[in-house]
Amino acid sequence: MKLTIKLTIKLLALAAVLAVFAVPTLAQTKECSDEFKSATYQKWYDNRKDHQDVAFQAADEYLATCPNDDSPYRTAIKKFWDAYKAMTADVTTKKQFEDAYKNKNYAEQIRLGKQILASDPDNPPLYIIMGIAGLGDAALLNESAQYARKAIELVEAGKPATPFESKDKALAALNYVIAKANLKSAPADAIHYFLKAARYESDLKKNAQLYLDLAAAYNDGPRAKLTTEYTSNVGPNNTETPESKLALENLNQVIDRQIDALARAAALADAANKKGIMDGLTELYKYRNKSDAGLNELVANVLSKPIPDVPTPLTSLPTQPASSTPAGTNGGGNGGGNNGGAKPAGSNGTTGGANTGANKTGSASGTGTQTGNAKPVATPSPTKRPRQHYRRA
């Protein structure tokens, strides 16, 4: 019993000691008194212009101590607090964005750029940087293309082309982003943007990869569509019909554009990639013209000629046989080298016996020659494109 009493006395004594020390702590809690509000408001007021960091601390303390205050003091202080908070957050975000740009962190450029645009929507350089982020990270192409469209609109309206040195360089890169974003999902649409990118005065027009991408867009877009149209209009036993002949005339125009694009890629390619491109180009050229005559001349001179536009679809067969000039030697002109609508290769009207790369489809020799009742083959795959990457500004 004595032990219990002594223990109880000690515990009560300890509790009394703790209570003594707790009193000063409770006394330190600030109260939202008129005196506090007046003193803190004065501190904020005196520093709000020249020492805004000190003013913000006073405002922060006031709002935390008097959360329910509805006086004019609090109204003025809260307005300053909100503005200062937004300003410092924006400055921090912009600094992070600059670091992301310098470090080529493309995903961060998109993420941080969105935050900045929320408070600063009229910022052309920001749209441009976000618009070309897809050139650095293919996973961002679709999202980046959205900002590229807006950036094109701003630059064409006369806004600065920063960080590019010129308007042409900015527009070339931005159009290239949109083209690459559409290459798989809408290759026919991509063609127009590739052509735009190639026509501006920039380093891109000397980049072999752009023309390889253009050749792929022709292959997967209009060539694939016209090949299907041709094969569906061939008559029994692979006999030609007026409809299949017209489809073939249009198909040959597209193949000529594909040859032109590959010739430009070959002319611009470095030593490590040129042979692979020339192999694919030679195969397609011989398939189209049944000979490689004129191919070397085409590659040697193609860059001195304007890049041809998308061919205008023919609605009727030519009344006179078209020129037998090898495809591409006239800059990819309509119907060039189509031999008056003759079958592109072989004796049964197949349209895909040759390809622009290593994947032959449907013929034993890869030239389109077949025998018997074999059906026209599918559109071949484009050339395997070498790893050449456009460097951002």
Least confident residue range of 207-221, 230-244, 314-328: 314-328
Domains of the chain, earliest start first: 34-172 (1.25.40), 207-341 (no CATH)
User: What is the SS3 assignment for 313-336?
Assistant: CCCCCCCCCCCCCCCCCCCCCCCC
Round the average pLDDT of the chain to a whole number and report it.
78
At residue 157, the pLDDT reads 96
At residue 22, the pLDDT reads 44
Angstrom distance (rounded) from CA 302 to CA 284: 16
Per-residue DSSP letters for 105-133?
-HHHHHHHHHHHHHH----HHHHHHHHHH
As a whole-number percent, the residues of the chain with pLDDT over 70 amount to 73
At residue 344, the pLDDT reads 35
For the segment 268-274, the average pLDDT, to the nearest whole number, is 96
Q: Could you report the per-residue pLDDT of 74-91, keeping only the tens digit for each?
A: 888 888 877 776 666 577
For the segment 227-253, the average pLDDT, to the nearest whole number, is 95
Work out the number of other CB atoms within 10 angstroms of the CB of residue 81. Answer: 19
State the burial class of residue 299 (Cβ atoms within 10 Å of its Cβ: 0-12, 13-18, 19+): buried
Sign of CA dihedral 142, 203, 332, 216: negative
Q: Look at the chain and count its residues.
A: 393
Q: What is the pTM of this model?
A: 0.66
As a whole-number percent, the residues of the chain with pLDDT over 90 amount to 54
Q: Could you report the per-residue pLDDT of 292-338, keeping only the tens digit for each?
A: 999 999 999 999 999 999 999 999 998 765 544 444 433 333 333 33
Assigned token pair, 61: 């303390």
At residue 87, the pLDDT reads 66
Higher per-residue confidence, 354 vs 54:
54
Confidence grade of residue 146 (pLDDT, cut at 50, 70, 90): very high
Confidence grade of residue 381 (pLDDT, cut at 50, 70, 90): very low
Cβ neighbors of 218 (< 8 A, separation 6 or more) are 187, 191, 254, 257, 258, 261
